[in-house]
Amino acid sequence: MQRASDRWIPVSLALLLHGVLVAALAYGWMLFRSEQTPKATLAIDATVVDARTLPGAQRPPPPQPAAAQAPPPPTPEELAERAKQREEAHEREEAQKAAEQKAVEEKQAAEQAAQTKAADEARKAEAQKKAEAQKKAAEEKKAAEAAAAKQKAAEEAEAAEEEADLKRSLANEDRAASAGPLLAKWQAQISARIERAWIRPESARAGIQCILNVTQERDGTVTQVRVGDCNGDQAVRQSIEQAVYRASPLPPPPDPSLFDRELTIHFTPH
C-alpha cells in the first residue's frame, strides 16, 4: 500500500516549479516596463555648508600624542650638579640684587650729597651776601658819621678861630687904646713892611681892606698867616699872605711890653 507522504512529494515539487516560473515571468515583465517608461531627472539644489560654522558642531578631538618613554632617573652626580647650579644661580641672583641695591643706595646718597652741598652753598652765599650788605651798611654809616664828625669839627674849629680872632682883635684894640701912639706906630711899621713886600696882582682893585691874623716868634719870625675878612679875591688874599711871609722877620715893638705873638693887622695898602 502506498503511503500519503509519498503522494505529497511530487505535488510539492510541481507547486515550487510553478512558483519559480511565475516569479520569472513577473520579473521579466517589470524589467520590460522599466525600459519602456522614460526616466525622470531629479534636480537637487544643494548648498555647501562648513561643518565648523554649524552651531553645536564639534571638531574631532586632536590625536593623542604617543606616550613618551619616561627618562631614566638622574644619577646622584647629576642631582649634585643640578643642586650646585641652582645654588650658583641663586648666589648670582642675590649678588645682582645686592649690586643693584648698592647702586640705588649710592645714587640716592650722591643725590642727597648734591642736594646738601647745594643747600650749604646757597646758605653760605646768602650769609655772605647778608654779611657784605651789613658790612657795606656799617661802612656807609661809619663814613657818614666820620663826615659828620669832620664837618662838626671843622665848624667848631672855624667858630673857635673866629672867636679867637674876635678876642685878639678886641684885646689888640684894648691894648692899642691903652698903649696909645706906641702900639699904633708899631702896627703902622708892620703894615708898611708888608705893603713893601706885597706884589699886587692884576685883579687887585683900589680900596683893599683885609684883616690879617699873624703868629710870630719872639724875634719877629712869622710862623703862620691867616687872612680873615677881605674884600679882595682869592688871588689878592694869596698875594697878601705871601707878602707877610716875605716881610718876616717883622719889626720889633718900640716897647718890649707891647710884644704879642698873635697880631691882628688891618692891612689897607695905598
C-alpha closest to that of 212 among 236, 196, 180: 236
Q: In angstroms, rounded to a whole number, what is the distance separating the alpha carbons of residues 122 and 115?
A: 10
Does position 3 have pLDDT exceeding 80, yes or no?
Answer: no
Orientation angle between helical segments 234-247 and 181-197, nearest 10 degrees: 110
∠ CA 206-177-245 to the nearest 5 degrees?
A: 50
**For the chain, first and last CA: distance in Å?**
230
Residue tagged 648666589 (cell numbers): 91
Q: What is the pLDDT of residues 153-210, one digit of tens each?
A: 999 998 998 888 888 878 767 765 666 788 888 999 999 999 999 999 988 888 899 9
Per-residue confidence (pLDDT) for residue 42, from 0 to 100: 45
pTM: 0.36
3-state secondary structure at position 3: coil
pLDDT exceeds cutoff 70 at 67: no
Q: Mention every residue, 6+ apart, whose C-beta is less than 8 A from residue 48.
A: none
